[in-house]
Chain A
Amino acid sequence: MRIKLHVWRQSSRSDKGQMETYELDNVIEDMSFLEMMDTLNEKLTVEGKEPVAFDHDCREGVCGMCSMVINGEAHGPKSETTTCQLYMRHFDDGAEIFIEPWRASAFPVVRDLVVDRSAFDRIIQAGGFVSNHSGPKPDPNSIPIEPNIAETALDAATCIGCGACVAACPNGSAMLFTSAKASHLGLLPQGQPERFDRAKSMVSQMESEGFGSCRNYAECEAQCPKGISIAFIGRLNSDFLKASLVEPIDRRGDMKAQ
């Protein structure tokens, strides 16, 4: 396969950056997209040029490291597929491919296609935990959970935190990520004690990171490699609303009769 690549090159955080064009003619259909990038980097290294920096780790679609906007879509044209699980057979011979980093002020470009996603870590730190006792280990399945609730929580928990939702959102909003993380704990009985505090603190951290606001486009859901539903956004909206206006309800105190 022959392909023409337009890749975002940026030497540092402060560099302005620009698109550069490369041609590759030894691409094999069964290469993954990242293997194709490795091939490009080998070629650049042999030519004495700086290879393209990009994030990757497990290369099996679960770690959430790979992060490329390919032809205008986060993780490329195949739905519910991470960049590492995208293969060159998904492209035509002679294809022209545009590769850009996630674009968001909360995700500054570190170099080329690598962005700093520590904003997500700080959102998790703000509320992505449950309180556990430190005593003896409880029996497995000692807390009954309704199967639909357990399944919904698992759906939310499939979020790999890659940031495709932010990259895909026309507003650069992180609502899909934050709502998935808040929901997978908030749905389960173990997550109830902090449920409303979690919604408040995760949303407040998310907003302080400079992500945009959700406009209900559902673009995040369409480009999420795990197909996470915007239903979780509605759920977080509802929890946040309750947390802001009603919860926690303090009903201690005496009452008088009359």
Chain B
Amino acid sequence: MNRIQTLYKSNIGKKVIAAVTGLILFGFLLGHVAGNLKVFTGSNEQGIPHIDEYGQFLKVAGEPLLPAGALLWGARLVLLTSVILHITVVVQLAMLSAEARPVSYVKSKKKAASLPALWMMFSGSLIAGFIVFHILHFTTGTIQLGEFEHGYVYNNLRSSFSNPFVAGGYIFVMVVIGIHLNHGVWSMFQTLGIDNPDRNKFLRTASTAVTTAIILGFIAVPASFLFGLMPEAANYAHDLLTGH
């Protein structure tokens, strides 16, 4: 514990925390996009869309080994802690760096720093705001941008994303997340000391490729609803979804 405290106090330690929490959040995105793609797989024999079933599964996942919701809330706790830690250390480091150059250059030029790297704070702030909005929109239903009924994931998506402004807004934020990850994923390898000249090209290409794949997967959902490519869901009885 003492060692972790010492590590946290150092700037490199804070970067390591940003890298590890970033990795956790990246892992979440991988799971999230895999789940999202269920909107394209159709419905079961009772007419329940697979994505609704999947939403139901998330609530009871871990049963009967764990009580219902335990896995879901456990995961939410880990994710929330990661987001808070990620933001805290990054803000602390940014404040420190602002103090490190009190007088700025009259003329300054960037030779190597990429725009995604320079925009990390901006893209990160936008993503933080989006996370809050997204939960209020599709999880709690507090923000109504279309018809919303708990558990009817497919219909909720269809209703919100048929609005071009909502779909467009989601697609825009996905691109911002892609820009954030393009630097962030590679940066994690460098911070943890995993990158080296002999694997630099591979790690950078892999980071961009996986990021692009994830973001295209995310964009596919609002884009398909927006362009009317998705069929209407069959009406199914409420009691077929066990948790509602």
A residues touching B (Cβ–Cβ < 8 Å)? 6, 8, 17, 19, 69, 71-73, 79, 98, 100, 103-106, 168, 170-173, 203-204, 207, 210-219, 221-223, 229-231, 233-241, 244-245
**Are the CB atoms of A103 and B103 closer together than 8 Å?**
yes
Additional A-B contact list (17), CB under 8 Å, known A73-B111, A240-B10? A69-B105, A72-B107, A103-B104, A105-B102, A170-B113, A172-B101, A173-B97, A173-B100, A203-B10, A214-B11, A221-B112, A234-B195, A236-B193, A237-B12, A241-B7, A244-B3, A245-B7
A to B CB contacts below 8 Å, 19 in the list: A6-B106, A19-B106, A69-B105, A71-B107, A71-B109, A103-B104, A170-B97, A172-B101, A213-B96, A214-B12, A219-B112, A219-B113, A221-B112, A223-B111, A231-B197, A236-B193, A238-B193, A238-B194, A239-B193
Residue of B96, B183, B196 contacting most chain A CB atoms (<10 Å): B96
* Chain B residues within an 8 Å CB radius of A19: 106
**Are the CB atoms of B118 and A213 closer together than 8 Å?**
no
* Chain A residues within an 8 Å CB radius of B16: 237, 241
**Are the CB atoms of B97 and A244 closer together than 8 Å?**
no
* Chain A residues within an 8 Å CB radius of B118: 170, 217
Kindly state the separation between the CA atoms of A114 and B15 in the bound complex, as whole angstroms: 32
- Is the CB of B238 closer than 8 A to any CB of chain A? no
Q: What's the minimum C-beta distance from B86 to chain A, rounded to whole angstroms? A: 14
Kindly state the separation between the CA atoms of A19 and B105 in the bound complex, as whole angstroms: 11
Q: What's the minimum C-beta distance from B203 to chain A, rounded to whole angstroms? A: 11
Contact with A along B188-220 (1 / 0, CB 8 A): 011111111100100000000000000000000
Kindly state the separation between the CA atoms of A229 and B200 in the bound complex, as whole angstroms: 12
- Is the CB of B6 closer than 8 A to any CB of chain A? yes
- Is the CB of B127 closer than 8 A to any CB of chain A? no
Among A69, A105, A212, A231, contact of B196 (Cβ-Cβ < 8 Å): A231
Kindly state the separation between the CA atoms of A71 and B4 in the bound complex, as whole angstroms: 43
**Are the CB atoms of A100 and B105 closer together than 8 Å?**
yes
Interface residues of B in 82-107 (CB under 8 A from A): 93, 96-97, 99-107
**Are the CB atoms of B10 and A210 closer together than 8 Å?**
no
**Are the CB atoms of A212 and B100 closer together than 8 Å?**
yes
Residue of B111, B112, B192 contacting most chain A CB atoms (<10 Å): B111
Chain A facing B: main interface SS: mixed
Contact with A along B145-189 (1 / 0, CB 8 A): 000000000000000000000000000000000000001001101
**Are the CB atoms of B10 and A207 closer together than 8 Å?**
yes
Residue on A nearest B92 in the bound complex, by CB:
A213
**Are the CB atoms of A212 and B101 closer together than 8 Å?**
yes
* Chain B residues within an 8 Å CB radius of A17: 103
Q: What's the minimum C-beta distance from B120 to chain A, rounded to whole angstroms? A: 7
- Is the CB of B13 closer than 8 A to any CB of chain A? yes
**Are the CB atoms of A103 and B101 closer together than 8 Å?**
yes
Chain B facing A: main interface SS: helix
Given known contacts A103-B103, A216-B187, is B108 in contact with A72 (CB within 8 Å)? yes
* Chain B residues within an 8 Å CB radius of A233: 190
**Are the CB atoms of B193 and A234 closer together than 8 Å?**
yes
Kindly state the separation between the CA atoms of A170 and B98 in the bound complex, as whole angstroms: 9
Given known contacts A213-B96, A223-B111, is B11 in contact with A245 (CB within 8 Å)? no
Interface residues of B in 110-147 (CB under 8 A from A): 110-114, 117-118, 120
Kindly state the separation between the CA atoms of A244 and B6 in the bound complex, as whole angstroms: 7
**Are the CB atoms of B105 and A234 closer together than 8 Å?**
no
Residue of A71, A213, A222 contacting most chain B CB atoms (<10 Å): A213
**Are the CB atoms of B13 and A244 closer together than 8 Å?**
yes
Q: 4 nearest interchain CB pairs? A: A238-B193, A212-B100, A172-B100, A72-B109
**Are the CB atoms of B196 and A171 closer together than 8 Å?**
no
**Are the CB atoms of A72 and B105 closer together than 8 Å?**
yes
**Are the CB atoms of A100 and B107 closer together than 8 Å?**
yes
* Chain A residues within an 8 Å CB radius of B183: 216
Q: What's the minimum C-beta distance from B192 to chain A, rounded to whole angstroms? A: 7
Q: What's the minimum C-beta distance from A116 to chain B, rounded to whole angstroms? A: 14
Contact with A along B42-83 (1 / 0, CB 8 A): 000000000000000000000000000000000000000000
* Chain A residues within an 8 Å CB radius of B10: 203-204, 207, 240, 244
**Are the CB atoms of A214 and B15 closer together than 8 Å?**
yes
Q: What's the minimum C-beta distance from B190 to chain A, rounded to whole angstroms? A: 5
**Are the CB atoms of A217 and B112 closer together than 8 Å?**
yes
* Chain B residues within an 8 Å CB radius of A100: 105-107
* Chain B residues within an 8 Å CB radius of A6: 106
Among B3, B14, B105, B190, contact of A213 (Cβ-Cβ < 8 Å): B14
**Are the CB atoms of A216 and B117 closer together than 8 Å?**
yes
